[in-house]
Copies of this chain bind each other. A is one copy, B any other.
Amino acid sequence: MIRSGISAIRRLSSAPGNSSFFFRQLFDHESSTYTYLLGDLVSKECILIDPVLEQVERDKQAVHQTGLNLKFAINTHVHADHITGTGLLKKSTNCKSIISKYSGAKADIYVEDGDNIEFGQFALTVRPTPGHTNGCVTYVLESQKCAFTGDALLIRGCGRTDFQEGDAATLYDSVHAQIFSLPDDFTLYPAHDYKGWTATSVREEKLYNPRLSKSKEQFVEIMKNLNLAYPKKIDVAVPANRVCGIQD
């Protein structure tokens, strides 16, 4: 297992609003997935969080045209609604793939609680947020006062808990312990949105999330009664994502 660029020691990177920080949010209309490109304009190192297979060419264009070099392709979890672009990105760039140790998926690097993923002078810190799946993690970029919550926390919503290793009580504990414990003004970026929202904040979700602002008992009851349809792509997406999106 390669651990270059991964550090288990918490390290605060640069100051908020550092002008060498590059951020670009990207959207896949088919699966309503947000992909994030984060970079350091000095070292030119960048990372992609939750790339989508069908958008790999667009994402590579974004990396190239902003003058950056892709160091890591990172997933927040094993997705059930789209195939990750990570495998294809690995084939056509020098990037390494990263996912949680508890995801059950293949990757070059496995991360766990407290690990730092470094790109240039910046670093994402891993916080485990299981409940939607066992391997769900939230990546916190403390220097920029933001976090990437995957499907654990969506804007005024949350990921499903009725498939894969879903467990509503676990998800509730994860969000309250690992995300709502961040400062109120941290911006939160989810893996999906269906209503045209692009971001939220810790404060907003603590106050206005219709599920997670409730008690744990109420939350479990809400999640039990969602009666959602079987996910269209799950039988294709989950096995593919366990091998990084493509067969070797």
Instruction: Mark A residues whose CB is within 8 Å of B.
Output: 16-19, 24-29, 55, 58, 62, 65-66, 185, 195-199, 201, 204, 207-208
Contact = CB atoms under 8 A, between A and B. Distances in A.
A130 to B, nearest CB: 28
Nearest to A28: B196
Contact of A27 (B17, B19, B66, B196): B196
Contacts of A17: 16-19
B207 A65 contact: yes
The dominant DSSP class at the A interface is mixed
B28 A58 contact: no
Contact of A196 (B18, B19, B58): B58
* Total copies of this chain within the assembly: 2
Contacts of A18: 17
B65 A204 contact: yes
A204 B185 CA distance: 30
Contact of A26 (B197, B207, B208): B197
Contacts of A58: 195-197
A204 B63 CA distance: 11
Contact of A204 (B27, B66, B195): B66
Given A65-B207, A65-B208, A198 B196 contact: no
A186 to B, nearest CB: 12
Contacts of A207: 65
A28 B18 CA distance: 31
